Amino acid sequence: MANENPKLAAMQAARLAGKKAIRSYARKLADPEDIKDLNITPMMDMMTIILVFLLKSFTSSATLVNMDQNLSLPPSQTRLAAKQAVPVTITKRVLLVEGEAVAPITNGRIDPQLKRDGDNGYYITPLVEMLSKVARREKKVAEVTGQKFDGELTIIADRNTPYRLLTEILYSCGQAEYANFRLLVLKSRE
Amino acid sequence: MTTRQVRGRMRRMRERFEEAEEEHIEINLVPYMDIVTNIIIFLLASVVNQVPLGTVNVSSPTFGGAGGDGQPDKPALNLTVTVGGTGFTLAGSGGVMPPIPKLPTGDYDYGALTAKLAEIKKEFSEETKATFNADAVTSYEIVVKTLDAMRTYKDEKDQQEKQLFPDIVFAAGIL
């Protein structure tokens, strides 16, 4: 008995120590001291909202103009904000409608062969044809949406464009039923 | 409990814990976050660098019958501002006004044009229309500046911006 009691006591002590070690290990597993993964879901929500907001404000800008050495807008003190309309761009080298090249410009003049009445004419044939197509499309859209076709154009012209060329282009626009123009300018408070 | 038994229990416990962890797999959002962050930075940079754009409204000439406004006694102004090689010329129904010459620096005298138009506006306060015409070689920048000078002026009395002739029509034909 005297030999058994110390053995029993030792076994009990070993069992208790074993259980203690297992409990301690279980606690360690259940409650890790260092954070393994940061919860980034709220941050993702926030970022997605910012992204949607920025995309919306970026795309709702009425007109996006890529200014370079061939297209430099003149400054103006106007307070009217740019509005969405069919853009006609006059650079130093080319005339564009909705970003599509219509006629080349050389030294501030359109090639006389592209004008119905020759060198002194105002009627730029490819411009009228192109704008007539656009006008037909706009009218269909206006009809479907129940709005009125307002015949408005945004003129994006280089600051050195001569008035003669501008007049020829505005006259041709008028021939395609566009009579109201919004001259796009850089806002300044000089 | 022997050391082997304790180690066995711990191994089983760890296995169960890892199995439970594997059941709660989350999608790795880090690549998506990278993309979104890059797009946001790009968009922010684009928005900040955007140039403030505005518009100046003008019209082509239109033709219609006279009268119909119930004021047949009031003469029409028919104001026309012409940009020539030497300066501005103002004309109306009453005749042609003395030209406004260029400044000694060679620039057009936009201030004098606005002052003259303000004088006319005092006489014809209801009138908002004016016709614009220019030399064939006049640059678009001068056209826009002249339109600015024709649209508004600053009243010296109350220091407020007031309308001059905001409904500008481009003349049919050029000089």
Q: What residues contact B136, with CB distance under 8 A and at least 6 apart?
A: A162, A163, A164, B174, B175
CA-nearest of A110, A162, A163, A153 to A131 is A153
- The percent of residues above 70 in pLDDT, for chain A, comes to 91
Contact yes or no for B140 and A158 at CB 8 A: yes
Q: Is the Cβ of A179 closer than 8 Å to some Cβ of chain B?
A: yes
A32-41, A158-167, B64-73: the lowest-pLDDT one: B64-73
Domain range annotation of chain A = 1-33, 75-187
Evaluate whether residue B30 is within a structural domain: yes
CA-nearest of A143, A159, A182, A136 to A67 is A159
Cβ–Cβ under 8 Å, residues B166 and B151 = yes
φ and ψ at residue B166, rounded to 5 degrees: -75, -20
Evaluate whether residue B61 is within a structural domain: no
Report the complex ipTM: 0.70
Q: What share of chain A is helix, strand, coil (3-state, %, to 5)?
A: 45, 20, 35
Evaluate whether residue B124 is within a structural domain: yes
Q: What is the tally of structural domains in chain B?
A: 2
Residue B81 and residue B19 share a domain? no
| pLDDT value at B115 more than 80 | yes
Q: What average pLDDT does the segment B115-132 reach?
A: 87
Residue B29 and residue B80 share a domain? no
Q: What is the 3-state secondary structure (H, E, C) of A70-101?
A: CECCCEECCCCECCCCEEEEECCCEEEECCEE
φ and ψ at residue A79, rounded to 5 degrees: -110, 0
Burial of B102 (0-12, 13-18, 19+ CB in 10 A): middle
User: Residue A162 carries which DSSP code?
Assistant: B
Per-residue pLDDT tens over the stretch B165-175: 888 888 866 65
CA angle A122, B170, B87 (to 5 degrees): 105
| Preferred mutation among A51, A63, A68, A76 to probe B, highest tally of B CBs within 10 A | A76
Mean pLDDT, rounded, of chain A: 85
Evaluate whether residue B71 is within a structural domain: no
pLDDT at B128: 86
Helix (H, G, I), strand (E, B) or coil at B175: coil
| pLDDT value at B38 more than 50 | yes
Contact yes or no for A44 and B32 at CB 8 A: yes
| pLDDT value at A66 more than 80 | no
| pLDDT value at A53 more than 80 | yes
Evaluate whether residue B70 is within a structural domain: no
Q: What average pLDDT does the segment B108-129 reach?
A: 88
Helix (H, G, I), strand (E, B) or coil at A2: coil
Chain B contact set for A158 (CB, 8 A): 140
CA distance A177 to B131: 20
Residue B85 and residue B164 share a domain? yes
Residue B147 and residue B103 share a domain? yes
How many other CB atoms are found less than 10 A from the CB of residue B1?
17
CATH assignment of the domain containing B80: 3.30.420
Contact yes or no for A18 and B2 at CB 8 A: yes
Residue of A nearest to B173 (CA): A167
Nearest to B56 among A76, A160, A171 (CB): A76
CA distance A163 to A80: 23
Q: What residues contact A186, with CB distance under 8 A and at least 6 apart?
A: A73, A74, A75, A76, B51, B52, B53, B54
Residue B131 and residue B80 share a domain? yes
Evaluate whether residue B122 is within a structural domain: yes
How many other CB atoms are found less than 10 A from the CB of residue B99?
13
Residue B152 and residue B98 share a domain? yes
pLDDT at B64: 42
Cβ–Cβ under 8 Å, residues A122 and A167 = yes
Length of chain B: 175
Written as one letter, the residue type at B102 is K
Cβ–Cβ under 8 Å, residues A72 and A140 = no
CA-nearest of A165, A188, A141, A148 to A88 is A165
Residue at token pair 């907001």 = A53
Residue of B nearest to A57 (CA): B47
Written as one letter, the residue type at A120 is N
Helix (H, G, I), strand (E, B) or coil at B161: strand
Evaluate whether residue B68 is within a structural domain: no
| Nearest-CA distance A141 → chain B (Å) | 23
Name the strand (E) or helix (H) holding B30: helix B30-48
Partners of B63 in beta bridges:
none
| pLDDT value at A54 more than 60 | yes
Nearest to A183 among B39, B56, B134 (CB): B56
Chain B contact set for A18 (CB, 8 A): 1-3, 5-6, 9
Residue B97 and residue B165 share a domain? yes
Q: What residues contact A84, with CB distance under 8 A and at least 6 apart?
A: A62, A63
Residue B166 and residue B85 share a domain? yes
Domain A75-187: top CATH class = alpha beta
**Pairing between strand B95-96 and B87-92?**
antiparallel
Evaluate whether residue B43 is within a structural domain: yes
Please, what is the angle between helix B140-151 and helix A163-175, to 10°?
A: 80
Per-residue pLDDT tens over the stretch B40-96: 888 888 777 667 777 787 877 654 444 444 455 566 778 899 998 888 998 888 788
Residue B162 and residue B84 share a domain? yes
Full residue range of the structural domain in which residue B40 is found: 3-48
Residues 2-61 of A with CB under 8 A from B: 14-15, 17-19, 21-22, 25-26, 29-30, 37, 40-41, 43-44, 47-48, 50-51, 54-55, 57-58, 61
Give the predicted TM-score (pTM) of the model: 0.70
Q: Is the Cβ of B138 closer than 8 Å to some Cβ of chain A?
A: yes
Residue B111 and residue B31 share a domain? no
Residue B24 and residue B94 share a domain? no
Residue A124 vs residue B59, higher pLDDT: A124
